[in-house]
Each structure stands twice: as C-alpha cells, then as structure tokens.
Structure 1
C-alpha cells in the first residue's frame, strides 16, 4: 500500500451536493453502530498490538481510539452550538497535540470506547430529533471561514468513523491479527 492509501484507506470525505433524508439516515446509523463496532474490533488486542502505529509515522491504535472520542466530543459540542447560536464560530483544537497527551498515549482504550458509547447514544438521540430546518443550521470554521451545515457535519463524522475504523482494521489485516 502506498502512503495515501494508508492515510486514507476509504478515500477522502465526499459530501454529496444534494444530501437526502436517506443519506442522513444512513450516516446516523454509522454513528449509532460505531462504538460497538470499534469495541468488537479491538477488544482482543494485546497492549503491544494496541500500541502499534497503523502506519509508519502514524498514531497507534490507542491514539486513534482516544482521538475518535476527542474529535466526536468536539463535534457534538459544535452541533449544540449550532442549534443554540446563530452561525457560531467554533473553537478548533490541535488534534495532533491532543494525541500526544498522556491519556491519549497511555490510557486504556476502553475508557474512550465507553465514553464513545455514551456520547454516540446521546448524539444519535439528538440527531434523530432534528428537523429539516435544524439540519440547515451552520457553524463557521475559523481557519478558512468555511460554513458547515449540520447535515454536512453528519456526513463528515460518519466518514470519520469509517476512516479510523479502516485504519485499525487494515493494520490488523496486514499483521494477520484478524480472527
């Protein structure tokens, strides 16, 4: 595999020009199932395996799992801001710095998996209750003043789930760790 395939095993995110209610339903389903699927994927790995980078120069499985929680927690907050404020400018975070913090490098992965289960249950509950007009609410990313709608952000995070799941799954396949 080349570096691009290792970095983007399912390709780059691709937000459709026209987002349908079926798209939203499918993406919410991904968000709903992700924590359990992730848990099943990594539950039998040893600490040595969990501390293996998914590619040379990449994060370890442990860091990827903790990153998913950190990123999804930030995204959930962005949804809440967008539903309660007019075009909020979000706070960005330096994910690469967060991945180097003590908890991301050393904490047991089940801490983030358990947190993802609770977060995704609440997030999916929120998403299933949104109206079509709620889905049009936006937030502004300060790095480029890009306006992102909530329906686009659902797409982004369904992709994010599948993207990082594939990082781990492909590493496990390359190493022969699959059952």
Structure 2
C-alpha cells in the first residue's frame, strides 16, 4: 500500500478545514450534522456481526467497534469542553490519550449498543445547547494544552461535525470494500 493510499484511508474526507469566517449557515449546517449523526451511525452499524465489528477499517487502524466507542468517548469530552467554556473564562481543557482509551477492554470488547445510546444522549443534549447559543457564546474559547491555542466554540462545532463524518466514512468505506452494505 502506498503512502497516499494509506493517507486516503486515514482521511477519506480530508482533514478539517475551518472557514476563515464562520457564518451562521456554517454553524446551522454543522449542528444539523451533529443532530443527525447518531441515527446515521446506528443505521450503518446495526446489522454488523461481532466479526465485522472487530474488523479494522484500515491496516493498523481501529476496529469498527473501537471507532464506535471512540466516538462516544470523544464526543463526551467535547460536550464537557463546551460546558466548561460557557461557564469559565478560557478554561484549559484536559486532553486525553484517545489511542490508549481505544486499547482498553471496553473499547475492544463491549457491545456497541451502549456507546450508540450514549452518543444519542450526548448529541441530543449538545445540539439542544448549541441551538441556544448567541454570538457571544459562540466566540467563547477553551485552551487546548497540547497546542496552547484558543479554540472558539463555533470552530469546535465544525470540528465535531467533521469528526462525525470522518469516522462515519471510515466505517462506510470498509463496509463498501467488504461488500457488507
């Protein structure tokens, strides 16, 4: 496999490219993606067998099961970051080692139903909150300790809409390659 082929498997929709000027339309579109994501993901993975769930989406990548659990964990962190940013002045968020979390026994073996239910709850709460934010709220930031950079909430909405689609396409592409759709 060439480096470009591996890169295409890692980033099938490309990396997140944030618009310079985030419009109200961008935000509404991103919130819509987040609102619909739990249903889309559940419909994509609901009929997979354990063997299929334990198939990596790319060489040296996570299994479908790990990706589903990762989405639940990651989006839970994101929800918390939104809440911190709305209630504190530029909080320094807690980063976590997502690759280590993906190696824990629950990420490797637990039924995906629990993470699908958790993701549905988190996205319901998150999108309800996001729809109520005004411009001042959307411009509030958190500080990411790995880059020491400020991340405005309006950008974080886009990051997690991208993140949802990014991992969805990982799974979808695997299902297409294996003729499981």
With structure 2 as the length reference, what TM-score do the two structures score? 0.97
| Structure 2: distance between partners of 1:108 and 1:128 | 31
Unaligned runs of 5+ in 2: none
Report whether the alignment pairs 1:156 with 2:172: no
How many residues were matched structurally? 178
- Kindly report structure 1 stretches of 4+ aligned residues shifted beyond 2 Å: none
Q: Residue deviations 1:60-106, cap 9 Å, x none?
A: 00000000000000000000000000000000000000000111000
Computed over aligned residues only, the root mean square deviation of the Cα atoms, in angstroms, reads: 0.7
User: Structure 2 matches for 1:30-69, cutoff 5 A?
Assistant: 30-69=33-72
Task: Give the CA deviation at 1:52.
Answer: 0.1
Per the alignment, residue 8 of structure 2 pairs with: 5
Unaligned runs of 5+ in 1: none
Task: Give the CA deviation at 1:41.
Answer: 0.1
| Structure 2: distance between partners of 1:142 and 1:40 | 36
Report whether the alignment pairs 1:90 with 2:93: yes
Q: Which residue, 7, 18, 22 being the options, matches 2:21? A: 18
1:139 counterpart SS class: strand
| Structure 1: distance between partners of 2:162 and 2:146 | 21
Task: Give the CA deviation at 1:144.
Answer: 1.7
Task: Give the CA deviation at 1:23.
Answer: 0.3
Report whether the alignment pairs 1:175 with 2:173: no
Task: Give the CA deviation at 1:21.
Answer: 0.3
2:160 counterpart SS class: helix
With structure 1 as the length reference, what TM-score do the two structures score? 0.98
